[in-house]
Structure 1
Amino acid sequence: MTGPKRKADVAFPVFDFKKPLAVPTYCTKEIKYGIVLRKYYPPEITNARADEYRLGQLERPVETLENALQETRAERNAVHDGKSVVHWFKSDLRVTDNKGLYAASVWSREHAVPLICVYLVSPQDFEAHLTAPVRVDFILRNLQVLKHDLAKLNIPLYVETIEKRRNVPSRLMELCNDWSAKHVFCNIEYEIDEVRREAALVRACLSRGISFNPVEDRCVVAPGKLISSSGGPMSVYSPWHRKWCDYLNRHFKELDPFPAPDMNAADVWDRFEALFRCEIPPAPASKSLSENERAKFRVMWPAGEHEARERLDKFIQERAREYHSARNIPSANATSILSPHLAAGTLAARTVVREARDAAPNKKLMDDRKQGHSMWIGELAFRDFYTSILCYWPYICMNKPFKPEYSNIEWEYDLSQFEKWTDGRTGLPIVDAAMRQLTYTGYMHNRCRMLAASFLAKDLLIDWRMGERWFMEHLVDGDFASNNGGWGFAASCGADPQPYFRIFNPLLQSEKFDPQGDYIRKWVPELADIRDEKGIHDPYGRGYGKVAEANGYPKPMVNHHQCRERALQRYKAGLGRSTA
């Protein structure tokens, strides 16, 4: 059998914040500064329409998918066997503990047909979702490992580049036709584009005699299973987390692992040789790295689920017990740094929670911030929480804050200040260290993400969505729900009960979480010679201005106390405006 030809990669322009788009005067700042990608998406929705989603007056995309699955269940179950079964890989690049892959394997075994796996590379999806080049590189390297692991089971992984994102569904159905596959399994992705695409595929596949079966696998507890006392979705983390722990303690089997797929029959290689021999394509031109960058990130971020499991096991054995006491110290090497693997799906969140629970002293899930394993599990639970927010407040995918009334705040769009922030040249050492870590490694410690984001949104009053985009375009672990949730927290417009007047003081945060200045010295070498544990945090204000100036380190670009007062006034004024 011959494999389908791959289509050529297409390069896309990357938005340059230094050169905002030239747009007609009637266009909004959101379009001018690249917050709304008009190539793919409509303008920012109104507050009134966001409220319709919030109140359930508009059908949410996840509900559209749920309805499609429910209404077509009998028809999908009646589809005959076919000559193969397909698993469509997306953000689940692993063989073990993969619910959708396991379901496809069970179908393969019970109906004696071969299992074929497919991954469709969409450069336009990378562009529309702001996927960082370092993350694209990580995804493609994970595919190499996955392809090798599946080949050991005599299962082919076919990878193809699809030039236009709108052609992904039709191409998937064409491949099923080529392989005489009548059943397709995949794991649900909850971003709005993907949920809508999967809802449409449920019905479109049926029209071609194909049963399309999306499976809940990304979250430990699927969105919608935890509800408030009034029967609606929950938007406050603490009570949500308590219910999450209670649910998993009562339904402990939901943490059970799913076995790797069974091996295909020996003749599958001969029948699908071209699929086994297909190559993983290079990154699209707009998402490519230099050779030096690729070499650096290969060492920095080794790919594959074996590496992920090794990192998980090592963290649980060596650092999980003390996680609660050291997690906020960026120089302490106290976190797992598993987020790139969770984002790529080389490790299931279910696996991580199960292993942490089993290693915990009481073998249960509980809201205990004084116990390392429990604290770490609670941080992992945020992924589920923010995914649930994405599902039931879908307008956050439409450039609208979780709290729509915060749309009325008057933001700044000073590109010279924004550039100093992105370049790590703000004159605030802890902020600059964080931004430089991100630029060099594709990763930033979580405490530093909060500090850097708060500085942009509160001290500079620059539209937080510009920072949200910048992070996504540079993070190896970029995940829309988690990134949006973090920025909503920093800008006080997200799913967080704290009021807008929580404003981090960069100096106090620096002294508290980098007390010896080790993190600053590592990422801001201009200040490495300052051994004073006080002076390192504020060189110009504590007698080390000459050292900093001699090494080219800038003075603080703003005065925090003045910025704090300005932010409070701006937020108060914005929230007092009409939300119509």
Structure 2
Amino acid sequence: LRALPAPRAQTPPPWPADPLPAAFEGFDAPAEPVRALWPAGEHAASERLDAFADGVIDAYQEERDFPSLPATSCLSPYLAAGVLSPGQALRAALTANHGEVEGGKRGAATWINELLWREFYQHLLAAYPVLSMHQPMKPETAAVPWRDAPEDLYAWQQGQTGIPIVDAAMRQLLALGWMHNRLRMVTAMFLSKNLLIDWRLGEAWFMAQLVDGDLAANNGGWQWSASTGADAVPYFRIFNPLSQSRKFDPDGVFLREWLPELAHLDSRAIHDPSPMERAAAGYPLPIVDLAQSRLRALEAFSGLPPA
């Protein structure tokens, strides 16, 4: 790799820009507190990249899966909008890692690997346009007997499934237009496996909510979780959301932030409150039995025709 000279400033065009409308029909601008989370422009993107590469990246490998920690770069909106290029991000990571891609600092090497996953999905979409046509990468998975369950889908969308970690993550998405990456996998797998609802409905919901919505990355993540995509998780590897919650939010810090009705519960009970605790807090019972729904998903996928 070699550094390229900075591009010369372009001559300002001789005509004025079109005026920006105050509003767009059918589109509500987010509230100011949310807009403040994602300041626009190259300068903001560069500042965020520099702050991450100068220190946070060192602990990325150890802390990236814990949603209550500020351990991720939060650069995805800038990458999705083209404000920041993958090359700029890679260069910053390589600088932090003394030019090494796989060795050196574990945090930097892991983050570089995540950048490569993003580029992998971009190349997949270019090579297989069928992915933009609501089709699975693995043709045989088109035969999965997805459930038509609009009430369950709505409960998932609104963070009312009765599974605390899923609900907290979905409420974070609604409030911020962003969700922690670990929780994107947890919520996607819960929808496509435990609820056995078509992953494409979840993909569309995420795309409509995410400030970092990117067709290739979003599709790739959903097809990975639903076991329908390239190099996807095996269908029999189904995350248990309660185990994920206890492992990556052991003290319930993230849960308390997004589920205030459960904030008074101790660090053990908050992951799976008792029926009495749920009733007192006005929090719903689980809409699905995790063990039984896991078996249902295994049966649905194991019965597919061979590839």
TM-score above 0.5 = yes
After TM superposition, the structure 1 = structure 2 runs for residues 130-279 of structure 1, keeping only pairs within 5 Å, are 252-253=1-2, 256-257=3-4, 259-264=6-11, 272=14, 275-279=15-19
Distance 2:251 2:120 in 1: 34
Report the AA paired with residue 270 of structure 2: I
The CA distance in 1 between the partners of 2:180 and 2:205, in whole Å, is 16
Greater strand fraction, Structure 1 or Structure 2: 1
Matched residue, 1:568 = 298
1:535 to 257, 263, 269: 269
Pairs within 5 Å for 1:291-330: 293-330=30-67
| Cα gap change, 1:388 to 1:277, in 2 (>3 Å) | closer
Cross-structure match for 1:505 = 240
**What CA distance in whole angstroms lies between the structure 1 residues aligned with 2:4 and 2:68?**
34
Matched, 1:515 2:240: no
Letter in 1 for 2:269: G
How many residues matched? 307
* SS of corresponding position for 1:296: helix
Give the residue type in structure 2 aligned to 1:262.
Answer: A
The aligned counterpart of 1:363 is 99
1:283 deviation in Å?
4.6
Please say if residues 224 and 232 of structure 2, whose CA atoms lie closer than 8 Å, have aligned partners that are also in contact.
Answer: no
Matched, 1:471 2:206: yes
Please name the residue that 1:389 is paired with: 124
Q: Which amino acid aligns with 2:99?
A: K
In structure 2, what is the Cα distance between the partners aligned to 1:329 and 1:313? 22
Aligned 8 A contact 2:261 2:282 in 1: yes
Q: What is the alpha-carbon distance in structure 1 between the residues aligned to residue 4 and residue 119 of structure 2?
A: 18
1-structure distance, mates of 2:110, 2:33:
32
Task: List per-residue Cα deviations over 1:448-499 (Å, max 9, x = no partner).
Answer: 0000000000000001100000000000000000000100111001112542
Contact 1:459 1:560 survives alignment (8 Å): yes
Distance (Å, rounded) in 1 between the aligned partners of 2:17 and 2:125? 38
Distance 2:103 2:296 in 1: 37
What is the TM-score when the length of structure 1 is the normalising length? Answer: 0.51
**Cα drift, residue 442 of structure 1:** 0.1
Taking the aligned partners of 1:454 and 1:283, their CA distance within structure 2 comes to 36
What is the RMSD of the two structures over their aligned residues, measured on CA atoms?
1.7
Query: Any gaps of 5 or more consecutive residues in structure 2?
Result: none
Structure 2: distance between partners of 1:325 and 1:434? 20
Select the residue among 286, 294, 305 that pairs with 2:26: 286
Indicate how the Cα distance of structure 1 residues 258 and 481 shifts in structure 2: closer, same or farther if over 3 A, else same: farther
TM-score by length of 2: 0.95
C-alpha distance after superposition, 1:56-79 (max 9, x if no partner): xxxxxxxxxxxxxxxxxxxxxxxx
Question: 2:286 maps to which residue?
Answer: 556
Q: Name the residue aligned to 1:422.
A: 157
- What CA distance in whole angstroms lies between the structure 1 residues aligned with 2:271 and 2:39? 33
The alpha-carbon deviation at position 260 of structure 1 amounts to 3.4
Extract structure 1 runs of 4+ deviating beyond 6 A.
Answer: none
Q: Are residue 408 (structure 1) and residue 143 (structure 2) matched? A: yes
Opposite residue 413 of structure 1, the aligned amino acid is D
The alignment-based identity, stated in percent, is 46
- 1:459–1:563 CA contact under 8 A, matched in 2: yes
